[in-house]
Chains A and B, each alone.
Chain A
Amino acid sequence: MLEVRGLVKRYNRVPVVDDVSFVIRPGEILGYLGPNGAGKSTTVKILTGLIEPSDGGIFFNGTDVRKDFVAFQRRIGYVPEEAHVYPHLTGSEYLQLIGRLRGLPRRVLEPRMEELLRVFSLWDDRHSPLSSYSKGMRQKILLSGALLHNPELLILDEPFSGLDVTTALVLRTLLHELAALGKMVFYSSHVLEVVEKVCYRVLILRKGKVVAHETVERLRDLMHEPSLENIFAQLTEQEDPAEKVRGILAAMQS
Chain B
Amino acid sequence: MNRLRTYAAEFRAWLEETHGAGFELRRHFFRRFFDSDLVSTPGQWQAVAIGLFAIVVSLPVPLLQAYFHKYRMLSELDSDVPFRHAVMADHLFLITLAMTLTAMITAIQWQSLFPGLRDYLVLAGLPVRTQQVFRAKFTALLVFMGIFVGALCVPPSCSLPFVMAGRYYTPHWANSIEMATAMAASAFFVFFALVALQGLLLNVTPPRWFPAISLLVQGVVFTLAVCALPLVISIPQLDRFMDQRPDFARWVPPAWFLALDQWLNGSRERYFAELGRIAWAGVGIAAFLAVVAYWWSYRRQKVRMLETPVQARGDFSVLRRALAVLRDRLIPELPEQAVFGFTAATLSRSRMHRMVLTAFVAVALALIAEGFVSLFLNPRTIAANSYALRQAAASAPLALSLFVLAGYRYLFRLPVELRANWLFRVHEGGNHKLLLRGMEKFVFWFGTIPVGAITLPLEVRVFGWQTGVEIAVLTFLPALIVQEALLAGFDKIPFTSAYLPGQRPLIQTVTLYGAAFGAYVILLGGVIVSAVRLTGSFLLAFSLMLAIWGWLRWSRRVYGDAGEIEYEESMEPAVQTLAIFRD
| Chain A contacts for B337, CB-based, 8 A | 100
Interface contact A127-B335, CB-CB below 8 Å: no
Taking CB atoms and an 8 Å cut-off, the chain B residues in 388-439 that contact chain A are: 416-417, 419-420, 422-431, 435
Interface contact B420-A85, CB-CB below 8 Å: yes
Q: Which of B349, B417, B420, B429 contacts A74 (CB 8 A)?
A: B429
Contact string against B for A residues 119-132, beta-carbon threshold 8 Å, 1 for contact and 0 otherwise: 00000010111011
| Chain B contacts for A70, CB-based, 8 A | 428-430
Interface check A98, CB cutoff 8 A: yes
Name the segment of A28-36, A87-95, A172-180, A184-192 touching the other chain. A87-95
Name the segment of A15-23, A76-84, A231-239 touching the other chain. A76-84
Taking CB atoms and an 8 Å cut-off, the chain A residues in 62-115 that contact chain B are: 70-71, 73-74, 76, 78, 80, 82, 84-90, 93, 96-106
Interface contact B417-A101, CB-CB below 8 Å: no
By secondary structure, the B interface counts as helix
Bound-state Cα–Cα, A82 to B341, Å: 24
**Closest Cβ of chain A: how far from B130's Cβ, in Å?**
23
Interface check B310, CB cutoff 8 A: yes
Bound-state Cα–Cα, A73 to B420, Å: 17
Taking CB atoms and an 8 Å cut-off, the chain B residues in 159-204 that contact chain A are: none
Given contacts A49-B426, A82-B419, A88-B416, contact A101 B338 (CB under 8 A): yes
Bound-state Cα–Cα, A218 to B178, Å: 88
Size category of the A interface is 35 or more
| Chain A contacts for B310, CB-based, 8 A | 128-129, 131-132
Bound-state Cα–Cα, A128 to B416, Å: 18
| Chain A contacts for B311, CB-based, 8 A | 128
Q: Which of A71, A93, A100, A101 contacts B345 (CB 8 A)?
A: A93
Q: Which of A84, A102, A128 contacts B427 (CB 8 A)?
A: A102
Interface contact B345-A73, CB-CB below 8 Å: no
| Chain B contacts for A105, CB-based, 8 A | 334
Given contacts A127-B314, A129-B313, contact A98 B423 (CB under 8 A): yes
Bound-state Cα–Cα, A244 to B426, Å: 39
Q: Which residue of B lies closest to A90 (CB)?
A: B313
Interface contact A97-B420, CB-CB below 8 Å: no
Chain A residues with CB under 8 Å of chain B are: 48-50, 70-71, 73-74, 76, 78, 80, 82, 84-90, 93, 96-106, 125, 127-129, 131-132
Residue contacts A-B, CB under 8 angstroms, 29 given: A48-B425, A50-B422, A50-B426, A74-B429, A76-B426, A84-B420, A85-B417, A86-B417, A88-B345, A88-B349, A89-B345, A90-B312, A97-B338, A97-B342, A101-B423, A101-B427, A101-B428, A101-B429, A101-B435, A102-B427, A103-B429, A104-B334, A106-B324, A127-B312, A127-B314, A127-B315, A128-B313, A129-B313, A132-B309
